[in-house]
Amino acid sequence: MSEPIYVTQPFLPPLRELQPYLEQIWKNRQLTNAGPFHEQLEQALCNYLGVDHISLFANGTLALVTALQALRIAGEVITTSYSFVATAHSLLWNGIQPVFVDIDPESLNLDPAKIEEAITPQTSAILPVHVYGRPCDTAKIQQIADIYGLKVIYDAAHCFAVQDQGGSVLRHGDLSILSFHATKVFTTFEGGAIVSPDAKTKQRIDFLKNFGFADEVTVVAPGINGKMNEFQAALGLLQLKYIDDALKQRAEIDCRYRAALSSLTGIRCLSLPESKRHNYSYFPIMVEPEYPIGRDALYDRLKNSNIFARRYFYPLITDFPMYRGRPSARPERLPVAMAIAGKILCLPIYPELTEPQVARIAEIIADV
């Protein structure tokens, strides 16, 4: 059997290029607590992403949890069931009640038309997700937030380097959260970040991610240990050297898939939204009823060929026991999300995926 092909694999630069960073860490004897590589990476990411303030974290989930703390969110938060569970888990960890609304059938993001009917006197914020790095309708969401006096926190885990017509999508809302997990376009093994609109907000976030310490003897908030270490930061600095090439390779793979699958009955490739820059973080297809077999059967057929696609996002967050009893989680309230979760399949995409491998995956799908 051929080598396994996973839905994504982290891009790892040549090991020899990491050695000088490791030697410097050994020389500095500072492994964490805002070391020199940590500080360099924060500035380098601000420059690359086109944002003014960024705070690095050990992972994206800690960043989500801390963002909610930083804005003192409480009560209820409107969010989506079509996401990774960390989106909703971050709310529960803060004692916040998630209220789920349906998604738009084209963007697969939170449907702005469904938000207002879910707002109650207890609603304090909206937590949308830029699914697959495809930007939400940020203008409509912000308009609703302004009318009702709500905060907006974007789960932008998939959005590294994505830009809309006005610049980085990370500039929208009160805060945006990135993930640098191994499955992401840009990785620091684990890792994450919060993008802040101003220095004062960043300062509060930096206190919160380090136990609330303002200085050696002063604790100003009940913080958490969310700091990124020097090893992660070093890998991030090295990744940045290659990120443009990696994004270019992802774009080429996306194009190959579209050419190979465009004529297949029952297989629908999601169209790319009108953005200034995409990152091609995922390649989702819809397995429609016209296709000869169901989505799960295709998933198994690929798996039996050592190709590990993923059903992102299935099951829905609202299918899990800690959420499914909530009124907003009832299937009849989420018909679009339910339908999409039953036919979505993300095919492998990463910079080192070869043209013959893409052709093989497409051939298996076509041969059905």
Owner of token pair 């993923």: 310
Q: What is the pLDDT of residue 1?
A: 62
- Is the separation of the CB atoms in 5 and 308 below 8 Å? yes
Q: How many domains does the chain have?
A: 2
Same domain as 360, residue 276: yes
Q: What is the pLDDT of residue 324?
A: 97
Same domain as 289, residue 206: no
Residue 19: give the domain boundaries: 15-100+108-238
d(CA 319, CA 109): 18
Q: Is 137 domain-assigned?
A: yes
Same domain as 129, residue 209: yes
Residue-by-residue DSSP string for 169-217 = GGGSSSEEEEE--TTSSS--SS-EEEEESSHHHHHHHHHHTBTTEEETT
Same domain as 147, residue 79: yes
Residue 285 has pLDDT above 70, yes or no: yes
d(CA 68, CA 174): 11
What is the arithmetic mean of pLDDT over 175-190? Answer: 97
Q: What is the pLDDT of residue 288?
A: 98
pTM of the model: 0.97
Q: Is 1 domain-assigned?
A: no
Q: What is the CATH number of the domain that holds 220?
A: 3.40.640.10
pLDDT digits (tens, 9 = 90+) for 335-368: 999 999 999 999 999 999 999 999 999 999 999 9
Owner of token pair 């609603």: 123
Using the 3D structure, point to which of 238, 262, 281 is the last residue of a domain: 238
d(CA 192, CA 155): 11
